């Protein structure tokens, strides 16, 4: 059964019972959610001006997980509970790993590091799988479902859980190094900057946790519960909230830089932002993609789709790629927001694009993996 639970205010809960910041992903790799440990969402790859559909793979029941691409292999999780590996060039399925057949894999997206693939499932397990063979290496159980995506920093793999903890585990063995308790679900994926993991939570706080020992070094109120992951550039972080705002935070001064809200349409932001060439780009549940000035928080442009946008944008070569609930993958001009290309998959796209080796990879809610190039 597909679970729809996400961040909710505390009252609603009671009612219901190391990559540097701003790093660009290399042209031939997209090893984790948002491409880099700083969650930049930006690739150095060159994508064709008029992408063509190269292949599709029927990978599972439904897919919210975003793909990772490493060494010519695509990895993605499905709601049927399977982690699938496919050849990037041909679409041939190389192996599949059964993670959680009862609960499935939701939004947690694979991270690939040191020959292992890490992914969380809705039963609360983090899995480490051999990238070459698909054989299990270890699992670690949390006490809540996992929708956060794993991030590897040195010998530590980080994962958030709906048991209200952020975990730091030994990347090779899965042994617990530390866990940090928040006041609500940890839905967002942490962005790692200089050994500190930054993330917003469903407890309406934005925190920085030291990766080496799990100690809090940074905490500021976000003013709303947050499911979106932050993108980081230099000493700044940017993220959307369920209070219909996008927030800029200075990580050094611990001060909010600005808050952006569309003047007419007030809807939550579930999509995770990217930051490239001074523009913050984020999808909204108002059916629009928003381009925001990094320095001032003023809107630069908007682009309207036909349904809400939970997919997170990815950028390459001055263009933005983003999926929509209307089933279309869009390519937009970064500077103007003008539509340059689209492709209709026929099913909602809540997963986020991955870009590597001149190709764009995205999966749909009817369980089909698409590769364009």
What is the distance between the alpha carbons of residues 341 and 328, in angstroms, rounded to a whole number? 10
Query: What pLDDT, on the 0 to 100 scale, is given for residue 12?
Result: 34
Query: What pLDDT, on the 0 to 100 scale, is given for residue 61?
Result: 87
Query: What pLDDT, on the 0 to 100 scale, is given for residue 6?
Result: 46
Average pLDDT of the segment spanning 203-220: 97
Query: What pLDDT, on the 0 to 100 scale, is given for residue 9?
Result: 39
Query: What pLDDT, on the 0 to 100 scale, is given for residue 234?
Result: 86
Kindly tell me if the per-residue pLDDT of 271 is higher than 50.
yes
Question: How does residue 21 score in pLDDT terms, banded at 50, 70 and 90?
Answer: very low
Average pLDDT of the segment spanning 31-52: 97
303 vs 4, more confident: 303
- C-alpha triplet 229, 231, 237: angle, nearest 5°: 105
Ranking 66-70, 251-255, 346-350 by mean pLDDT, the lowest is 251-255
Average pLDDT of the segment spanning 105-133: 98
Query: What pLDDT, on the 0 to 100 scale, is given for residue 92?
Result: 98
Q: How many CA atoms lie within 13 A of 21 on its CB side?
A: 20
Average per-residue pLDDT in the chain?
A: 93
Average pLDDT of the segment spanning 332-342: 98
Query: What pLDDT, on the 0 to 100 scale, is given for residue 10?
Result: 35
CA distances (Å), origin 350, targets 82, 89, 148, 254: 18, 24, 14, 32
Inter-residue contact 293 to 260 (CB < 8 Å): no
What is the distance between the alpha carbons of residues 319 and 276, in angstroms, rounded to a whole number? 10
Query: What pLDDT, on the 0 to 100 scale, is given for residue 16?
Result: 27
What is the distance between the alpha carbons of residues 329 and 49, in angstroms, rounded to a whole number? 14
Question: How does residue 18 score in pLDDT terms, banded at 50, 70 and 90?
Answer: very low
Question: How does residue 82 score in pLDDT terms, banded at 50, 70 and 90?
Answer: very high
Average pLDDT of the segment spanning 11-15: 32
User: By percentage, how much of the chain surpasses pLDDT 90?
Assistant: 91
What is the distance between the alpha carbons of residues 188 and 33, in angstroms, rounded to a whole number? 11
Other CB atoms within a 10 A radius of the CB of residue 257 amount to 16
What is the distance between the alpha carbons of residues 43 and 174, in angstroms, rounded to a whole number? 29
Query: What pLDDT, on the 0 to 100 scale, is given for residue 188?
Result: 98
- Provide the b/e sequence for 43-79 (b: ≥16 CB within 10 Å): bebebeeebeebbebebbebbbbbbbbbeebbbbbbb
Task: Give the pTM.
Answer: 0.94
Q: Where are the domains of the chain?
A: 10-372
Question: How does residue 1 score in pLDDT terms, banded at 50, 70 and 90?
Answer: very low
Average pLDDT of the segment spanning 261-287: 95
pLDDT of 279-314, one tens digit each?
Answer: 999 999 999 999 999 999 999 999 999 999 999 999
Query: What pLDDT, on the 0 to 100 scale, is given for residue 3?
Result: 37
Query: What pLDDT, on the 0 to 100 scale, is given for residue 8?
Result: 42
Query: What pLDDT, on the 0 to 100 scale, is given for residue 101?
Result: 75
Question: How does residue 102 score in pLDDT terms, banded at 50, 70 and 90?
Answer: confident
For the domain bounded by 10-372, which CATH number is listed?
Answer: 2.130.10.10
pLDDT of 155-187, one tens digit each?
Answer: 999 999 999 999 999 999 999 999 999 999 999
Kindly tell me if the per-residue pLDDT of 11 is higher than 70.
no
Task: Collect contacts of 142-146 with beta carbons under 8 A, ≥24 apart.
Answer: 142/167, 144/185, 145/3, 145/5, 145/103, 145/106, 145/121, 146/106, 146/108, 146/120, 146/121, 146/122
Query: What pLDDT, on the 0 to 100 scale, is given for residue 240?
Result: 98
What is the distance between the alpha carbons of residues 338 and 76, in angstroms, rounded to a whole number? 30
């Amino acid at each position: 059964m597909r679970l729809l639970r996400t961040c909710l205010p505390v009252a609603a809960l009671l009612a219901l019972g190391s990559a540097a910041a701003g790093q660009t992903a290399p042209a031939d790799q997209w090893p984790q959610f948002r491409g880099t440990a700083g969650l930049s969402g930006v690739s150095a790859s060159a994508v064709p001006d008029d992408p063509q559909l190269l292949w599709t793979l029927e990978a599972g029941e439904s897919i919210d997980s975003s793909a990772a691409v490493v060494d010519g292999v695509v990895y993605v999780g499905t709601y049927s509970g399977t982690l699938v590996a496919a050849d990037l060039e041909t679409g041939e399925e190389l192996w599949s790993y059964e993670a959680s057949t009862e609960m499935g894999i939701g939004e947690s997206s694979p991270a690939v590091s040191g020959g292992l693939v890490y992914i969380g499932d809705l039963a609360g397990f983090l899995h480490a799988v051999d990238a070459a063979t698909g054989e299990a290496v270890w699992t670690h159980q949390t006490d809540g479902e996992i929708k956060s995506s794993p991030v590897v920093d040195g010998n530590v793999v980080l994962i958030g859980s709906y048991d209200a903890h952020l975990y730091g585990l030994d990347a090779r063995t899965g042994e617990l190094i530390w866990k940090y308790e928040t006041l609500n679900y940890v839905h967002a994926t942490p962005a790692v900057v200089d050994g500190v993991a930054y993330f917003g939570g469903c407890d309406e706080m934005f925190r920085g946790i030291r990766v080496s020992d799990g100690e809090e070094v940074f905490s500021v109120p976000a003013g709303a519960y947050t499911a979106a992951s932050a993108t980081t550039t230099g000493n700044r972080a940017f993220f959307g909230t369920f209070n219909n705002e996008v927030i800029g935070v200075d990580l050094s001064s611990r001060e909010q830089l600005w808050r952006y809200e569309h003047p007419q349409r007030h809807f939550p932001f579930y999509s995770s932002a990217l930051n490239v060439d001074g523009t913050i780009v984020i999808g909204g549940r108002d059916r629009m993609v928003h381009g925001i000035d990094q320095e001032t928080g003023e809107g630069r442009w908007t682009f309207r789709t036909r349904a809400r946008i939970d997919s997170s944008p990815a950028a390459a070569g001055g263009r933005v790629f983003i999926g929509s609930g209307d089933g279309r993958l869009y390519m937009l001009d970064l500077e103007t927001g003008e539509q340059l290309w689209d492709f209709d998959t026929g099913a909602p796209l809540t997963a986020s694009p991955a870009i590597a080796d001149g190709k764009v990879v995205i999966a749909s809610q009817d369980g089909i993996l698409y590769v364009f190039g």
